[in-house]
């Protein structure tokens, strides 16, 4: 494994960030994987919300391939409130929005009188998955910035289950929190559960929605992902996020499925 950069993003000004090699997409080395920008926009949105509210859902639209160049973040409050709040953020690259996110926060409150049973995922394997081979790729920035420990599906196409640990901070100089850990890996769901050969087929999510029951505790987030294909070039990935204590939330990604032309 090559040496890790300091973080996914280096702050270079007020709300301005330089992406490092850790954001590199497996689809295009000049583009960013969707996970780090999602977490960056969530971080910016979270910073505008009062304590006592927790992000419960974030929907992210990838408006174009995300260039691995300097980006600016803009945040706008769409629906202020003390109990629920809706906020929008944009990742601006070269003067244009490359990613847009909308997030709902919900105020926390008293513990309900009924508690939902939560089933923990399989135990963390004792050793990391050596040189995680993502459809033949082993040396790409985002893939190396995550530690992968598979409990199923590593050697086959289709459904996959994997423990993940983000190795570096989201932003240089800032401690990585649980929300960022979950969102950095959520957009990997369609990749780890791809059902078609990577070098022959594109499987591209133009949008992703992550709904969270709670934010993870500790370093590890578990991803249980499945991809389903329709007969007309569309697909759908759904995934469950967990930590060692049980379920965290759900991920949904509609997919563009196309055979590569070159």
Tokens of 143: 């893939």
| pLDDT value, residue 131 | 56
| pLDDT value, residue 2 | 64
Q: What DSSP line would sit under 222-251, residue for residue?
A: EEEEEEEE-TTSEEEEEEEEEETTEEEEEE
Domain segments of the chain as ranges: 9-108+127-259
Percentage of the residues of the chain whose pLDDT score is greater than 70: 95
Q: Nearest 5 degrees, angle CA 175-CA 60-CA 163? A: 55
* C-beta of residue 42 within 8 angstroms of C-beta of residue 183: yes
Give the lowest-confidence range in 202-206, 246-250, 258-262.
Answer: 258-262
| pLDDT value, residue 22 | 97
Is the confidence at residue 262, as pLDDT, over 80? no
What band does 74 get if pLDDT is binned at 50, 70 and 90? very high
State residue 166 phi and psi, 5-degree precision: -75, 125
Q: How far apart are CA 56 and CA 214, in angstroms?
A: 7
Q: How far apart are CA 191 and CA 211, in angstroms?
A: 19
CATH of 9-108+127-259, one of 3.40.50.300, 2.40.160.210, 3.10.20.340, 1.20.210.10: 2.40.160.210
* C-beta of residue 233 within 8 angstroms of C-beta of residue 258: yes
Is the confidence at residue 33, as pLDDT, over 80? yes
* Beta strand pairing call for 71-79 and 84-93: antiparallel
214-223 confidence digits (pLDDT tens): 999 999 999 9
Tokens of 82: 């003390």
* C-beta of residue 230 within 8 angstroms of C-beta of residue 56: no
Mean pLDDT of the chain: 93
Is the confidence at residue 132, as pLDDT, over 60? no
3-state secondary structure of 162: strand
Q: How far apart are CA 210 and CA 257, in angstroms?
A: 21
């Amino acid at each position: 494994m090559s040496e890790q950069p300091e973080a996914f993003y280096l702050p270079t000004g007020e709300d301005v960030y330089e992406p490092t090699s850790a954001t590199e997409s497996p689809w295009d080395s000049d583009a960013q994987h969707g996970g780090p920008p999602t977490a960056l926009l969530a971080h910016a949105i979270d910073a505008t919300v009062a304590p006592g509210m927790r992000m419960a859902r974030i929907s992210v639209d990838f408006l174009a391939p995300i260039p691995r160049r300097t980006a600016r973040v803009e945040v706008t409050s769409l629906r202020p409130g003390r109990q629920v709040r809706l906020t929008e953020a944009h990742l601006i690259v070269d003067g244009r929005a490359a990613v847009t996110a909308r997030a709902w926060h919900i105020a926390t409150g008293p513990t309900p009188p009924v508690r939902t049973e939560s089933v923990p995922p399989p135990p963390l394997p004792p050793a990391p998955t050596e040189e995680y081979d993502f459809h033949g790729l082993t040396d790409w920035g985002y893939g190396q910035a995550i530690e992968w420990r598979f409990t199923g599906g590593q050697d086959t196409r289709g459904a996959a289950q994997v423990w993940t640990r983000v190795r570096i901070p989201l932003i240089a100089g800032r401690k990585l929190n649980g929300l960022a850990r979950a969102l950095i890996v959520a957009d990997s769901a369609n990749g780890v559960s791809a059902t078609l050969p990577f070098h022959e087929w594109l499987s591209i999510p133009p949008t992703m929605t992550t709904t969270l029951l709670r934010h993870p505790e500790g370093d590890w987030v578990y991803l249980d992902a499945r991809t389903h294909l329709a007969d007309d070039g569309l697909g759908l990935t759904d995934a469950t996020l967990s930590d060692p204590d049980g379920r965290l939330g759900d991920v949904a990604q509609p997919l563009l499925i196309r055979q590569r032309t070159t």
